[in-house]
Chain A
Amino acid sequence: MRAGARRVGAAFVGLGVALLIWWAAIRFLVPPTGILARFAPDDAIATLVRLLGEGDLVAHAVASLRRIAAGLLVAAAVGIPLGLTLGSIRLVARTGGPVLGLLRMISPLSWTPIAIILFGVGDSPVVFLVAMGATWPIAVNTAAGVAHLDPTWLRVARSLGATRREALRLVVWPGIRPDLLTGLRIATGIAWVVLVPAEMLGVDSGLGYFILDSRDRFAYDELVAAILVIGSLGLAIDGLACFLFGNRRRTVGGRSWFRGRSLQVGSGRGLPARTGQVTAGGGLTGPGVATTPSGGPAVPEPR
């Protein structure tokens, strides 16, 4: 609890320092009558409070969140089955892997002309672009999860009489969950980054649209307020993704499986080891013999 409070406190200090640097840069490096002076944080924060009170900015944020949710849903609907197929069928992995590698290296915004040709204007091309950015990390991580699945788990399930569906539900699905959730978390971040520029194309709502609109109206304080909302919402979405999809479980063998708890492996007077001498550690399975020399505190023998 105390460590959590310290972490939150440190985050606020970091944000405060960033705000101070921003304010100082505008105050001391920019001429007061210049256009950049209108990007000052004090003006932006006051405008942000006003816009939130009026509700206009909230409506744009909701429109953006709706699109990101739709894009992620499409990405998951395509990416998860694709990843399952890539991870479980070697031929598909060998033939489809390079294609996937090529597609994921293309900036999602490169698809904009094709999105407009296919879907015209409105929500659909934005959702398409978000999905194009978010599908690949989900597919790649799902495939990795399937590939990492311990084959003996499936043998155990089969030997216990599991049907194919039962094995999928009770062994495969939970087995790939850590990788899948990592993919979803990465996808969420990418989707948010893609969303804002995508909303600058052919839509009349959303935070991306609001930025363009503010620029056209020379309302730079509103533009900066929108940027602050984008950053804050992105941070909140990442936090939510961490909470929903992240590693709240303790990592075992590089993967997360179970909720954290502390275990006392060993205690006592320590292990005296003299220089130039072989010190043997013995014991039954599980007393921490292996842990002591590798992870335990080194206790030098008193001189």
Chain B
Amino acid sequence: MVALALRVTDGQRAYHRGATRQPVFTDLNLEVRTGEVLALLGPSGCGKSTLLRILAGLESLDHGRLEVFGARPSAPKVGIAFQQPSLLPWLTVAQNVALGLRFAANRAARTPDAVSRVLDELRLESVADAYPAELSGGQAQRANVARLVVTGRPILLLDEPFAALDPGTREALQDWLLDLQRARGLTLVVVTHDLSEALHLGDRVAVMSGIPGTIRRVWDVRSHGGRTDRSEAGEAVRRHILSQYDADPRPADRPTTWADTLSDSPQGR
């Protein structure tokens, strides 16, 4: 049995604007396995970021259940990085990375060399004394992730972390992130609307449909070699995910011709 880091069961969430109730997602079921990278792919406005904030505990479900390592969320185990690095501009990189440790919730992660070790590990030591405005986009995003890593949280949620970067930096940071994930055994959920990024990063790719959002499919990418796999099967996975991604929102239970031939898991199970 696969150990689960996160599980959402029958999740529902809506925003209320005056008397209008606008559902963001309905009947959402998602499982994130411990130690995997799950790429969450979907069109803009399908509720990816809302789902991420719910997983991080920043918002709550209207209905349904969220479990973190099989239990109700309690101690901080989940960290979230937003699309914009949001580093505090009056603090240096080292001080930004140390910010989380100043909060009582993370006192367990406080060690004398915690910050310097993470800066070293994430190749940020050369800019430790720089201010955010002095960083390139890639450096800022790495510092943003470092701020989470230092708190020792085993699950990291990244909301389109590389969307604002140029293609070269983005690819370099994708590999950097995977190295980090492997070295620390992290569980990552990465929101993206870039298919190639999802295929490159994700052990599995969860495809969300449009409004109201739901998880339409979860594709096991690693078993098909990921982006580097140029075999027919690998290309088939890519083509199929692309067709799912580009298609108009359809009911989640609508059968697809590829579904039975690939090792996917509808509704994330």
Whether A166 lies near B136 (C-beta < 8 A) is: no
Name the A residues within 8 Å of B104 (CB-CB): 161, 163, 166
Neighbour of A153 across the interface among B57, B86, B131, B168, CB < 8 A: B86
A235 in the interface, Cβ–Cβ < 8 Å? no
Whole-angstrom CA separation of A267 from B69 in the bound complex: 52
CB pair B147–A285 under 8 Å, yes or no, is no
B259 CB-CB contact with A under 8 Å: no
Q: With A162-B105, A170-B99, A286-B135 as known contacts, state yes or no: A152 contacts B86, CB within 8 Å.
A: yes
Residues from chain A with a CB closer than 8 A to the CB of B233 are none
Q: Is the Cβ of B103 less than 8 Å from the Cβ of A162?
A: yes
The answer, yes or no, to whether B218 is at the interface (CB within 8 Å) is no
If A159-B58, A160-B99, A170-B102 touch, does A286 touch B138 (CB 8 Å cutoff)? yes
The 0/1 profile, CB within 8 Å of A marked 1, for residues 82-117 of chain B is 101010111000000001101111100000000000
| Docked CA distance A257–B133 (Å) | 9
19 A-B pairs, CB-CB below 8 angstroms?
A: A153-B86, A155-B58, A155-B82, A159-B56, A159-B57, A160-B100, A160-B147, A161-B106, A162-B103, A166-B104, A170-B103, A250-B133, A284-B138, A284-B168, A284-B169, A286-B135, A286-B136, A286-B137, A286-B139
A163 near B103: Cβ-Cβ < 8 Å: yes
Q: Is the CB of B133 within 8 A of A258?
A: yes
A159 to chain B, nearest CB (A): 5
Q: Do B58 and A166 touch across chains, with their CB atoms under 8 A apart?
A: no
Q: Which among A153, A158, A257 is the interface contact of B58 at CB below 8 angstroms?
A: A158
Name the residue of chain B whose CB is nearest to the CB of A167: B103
| B21 shortest CB reach to chain A, Å | 23
Q: Which B positions have Cβ atoms within 8 angstroms of A?
A: 56-58, 76, 79-80, 82, 84, 86, 88-90, 99-100, 102-106, 131, 133-139, 147-148, 151, 165-166, 168-169
Cα separation A249 to B151 with both chains bound (whole Å): 29
The residue on A at minimum CB distance from B100 is A160
In the complex, the answer to whether B90 meets A257 with C-beta atoms within 8 Å is: yes
**A171 within 8 Å of B (CB atoms):** yes
Q: A157 CA to B147 CA in the complex, in Å?
A: 11
Binding site for B on A (CB under 8 A): 150, 152-153, 155-163, 166, 170-171, 174-175, 177, 249-250, 252, 255, 257-258, 263, 283-287
**Are B86 and A156 neighbours in the complex by a CB distance under 8 Å?**
yes
A153 and B76 within 8 A (CB): no
Task: Contact check, B133 vs A252: say whether CB atoms are below 8 A apart.
Answer: yes
> Within the assembled complex, what's the spacing in Å between the Cα atoms of A283 and B167?
10
On whether the beta carbons of A258 and B131 are closer than 8 Å, the reply is yes
Known: A160-B99, A160-B151. 7 other contacts (CB 8 A): A158-B58, A161-B76, A163-B103, A252-B89, A257-B131, A258-B131, A284-B136
| Interface SS, A side | mixed
Which of A150, A160, A177, A258 contacts B79, CB < 8 Å?
A160
The listed residue (B103, B105, B169) touching A285 by CB distance below 8 A is B169
For B135, what are the chain A residues with a Cβ–Cβ distance below 8 Å? 286
Q: Which among B80, B90, B131, B133 is the interface contact of A174 at CB below 8 angstroms?
A: B90
How many angstroms from the CA of A286 to the CA of B172 in the assembled complex? 14
A252 to B56, CA, bound (A): 30
CB-CB under 8 A from B99, the residues of chain A are: 157, 160, 170
Q: How far is the CB of B92 from chain A (nearest CB, A)?
A: 8
| CB atoms of B79 and A159 under 8 A apart | yes
Question: Within the assembled complex, what's the spacing in Å between the Cα atoms of A150 and B86?
Answer: 8
CB of A263 within 8 A of CB of B134, answer: yes
Give complex CA distance A250, B76 in Å: 36
Alpha-carbon distance between A255 and B89 when the two chains are bound, in angstroms: 10
- A283 vs B168: C-alpha distance when bound (angstroms): 9
Q: Which of A156, A171, A286 has the most CB of B within 10 A?
A: A156
Query: With the chains together, A286 CA to B56 CA distance in Å?
Result: 30
CA distance A148 to B135 in the complex (A): 22
Q: Which of A155, A171, A258 has the most CB of B within 10 A?
A: A258
Q: State how many angstroms separate the Cβ of B191 from the closest Cβ of chain A.
A: 14
Closest to B157 in A: A159
Q: Report the minimum CB–CB distance from B144 to chain A (whole Å).
A: 9
B103:A166 contact, CB within 8 angstroms: yes
Q: How far is the CB of A165 from chain B (nearest CB, A)?
A: 10
> A284-B166, A286-B137 are contacts. A175–B105 as well, Cβ < 8 Å?
no
B residues near A283, Cβ cutoff 8 Å:
166
- A43–B25 alpha-carbon span in the complex (Å): 83
Residues of A close to B133: CB separation below 8 A: 250, 252, 257-258
Residues of B within 8 A of A161 (CB): 76, 100, 103-106, 151
A45 to B104, CA, bound (A): 60
Cross-chain contact A285 with B134 (CB below 8 angstroms): no
CB distance from B54 to the nearest CB of A (A): 12
Which 5 pairs of residues, A with B, have the shortest CB-CB distance? A286-B136, A161-B105, A285-B137, A160-B100, A258-B131
Residues of B within 8 A of A156 (CB): 82, 86, 147
Contact (Cβ within 8 A) A285 B82: no
Cα of A163 to Cα of B106 in the assembled complex, Å: 11
